[in-house]
Amino acid sequence: MYHTSVSPIGSGKARTVPLPSQTAHEPITAAALDLSSIPAVAQYRLPGAGNSHWISVLCIAALLGLWWLATARAWISPLFLPSPQAIGAAFSQAWSGNIQGGQGLVVHLQWSALRVFGAFFLAVVTAVPIGIAMGVSRLSRGVFDPLIEFYRPLPPLAYLPLIVIWFGIDETSKIILIYLACFAPIALAAKAGVKSASIEQINAALSLGASRWQLIRHVIVPAALPDILVGLRIAIGFGWTTLVAAEMVAATVGLGQMVLNASNFLRTDIVIMGILVIGLLAWCFDLCMRWAESQLVPWKGRV
């Protein structure tokens, strides 16, 4: 193999010399290049990539151990922080109905799930179309965006008295309160997801003769689906946080009502038990939403 070099200025000629350790017409081999001396490049990973399950397990175990130690050593009064054993006993009492109100934990759970998931379902079937309409239509955005942005920062307790005046103290007011808490994050997530559709995808669909509804169905909705699923996860969390406020309105059963009733009698063990049950339910639903997200949008984070 030869290497071409330029002669000194003024000669106007170039000369060809063989590379060191190479003879004419001899190909370069891997041994000649000595690839073993080239350091390997580490594989790049996205920030935060990797499994964190064991970290979560260790953190939960550490918190439980600290909780048990603080109550066993009487560092904190049982009135403020009951022991894990007392929480277990309160769970058994609530399961059998031996608490204030006389209703079992299953009955409280059924009514709370009916209110939260009923309001959540109504929010999904109304907020997703409205959010997509806000993303694709100036008219829809001009109509709905000011209303949603106005009431979204308001705490549910602020407009709870107005809902009671309008709809009374039956189940309608409770479901509407939770519905409003779930509606805004879903609608805004759907609106933001519309922007995930690239202009190349839109132009390609239009060039193939797609109508406006076909464009929305086959291009915009699939592109917005990851953001919509994130909005659903956020909305169900807002629904559970609003549950206690909703069950303040003349409720006799429900997890929120059970917690409020126990706080009136300083039953801190039942209060903490109710909080744990609500948190575990919301966490289990979030895990289901994560699984659904992995099945419906497997390309998320990979493209």
Cα 244 from Cα 271, distance rounded (Å): 12
* Closest of 281, 254, 271 to residue 86, by C-alpha: 271
Query: Of 283, 274, 272, 282, which is closest to residue 64 (Cα–Cα)?
Result: 272
81-296: CATH homologous superfamily? MetI-like (1.10.3720.10)
Q: Specify which residues 2 forms β-bridges with.
A: 18
More confident residue, 34 or 268: 268
- DSSP character string of 7-67: PSTTS--EEEEEPTT--TTPPP-HHHHTGGGSPPPPPP--TT-S--HHHHHHHHHHHHHHH
Contacts of 193 (CB under 8 A, 6+ apart): 131, 132, 135, 223, 224, 225, 226, 227, 228, 231
**pLDDT tens digits, one per residue of 20-55:** 555 545 555 555 555 566 666 666 676 777 777 889
3-state helix, strand, coil in the chain (%, to 5): 70, 5, 30
Which of 12-16, 116-120, 187-191, 263-267 comes out lowest in average pLDDT? Answer: 12-16
Separation of alpha carbons 68 and 250, rounded Å:
36
Q: What is the DSSP letter of 219?
A: I
- Burial class of residue 200 in the structure, from the number of CB atoms within 10 Å of its CB (0-12 exposed, 13-18 middle, 19+ buried): exposed
Is the model's pLDDT at 206 over the cut of 70?
A: yes
CB 231 within 8 A of CB 189: yes
User: What is the residue extent of each domain of the chain?
Assistant: 81-296
**pLDDT per position as a tens digit, 98-126:** 887 778 889 999 999 999 999 999 999 99
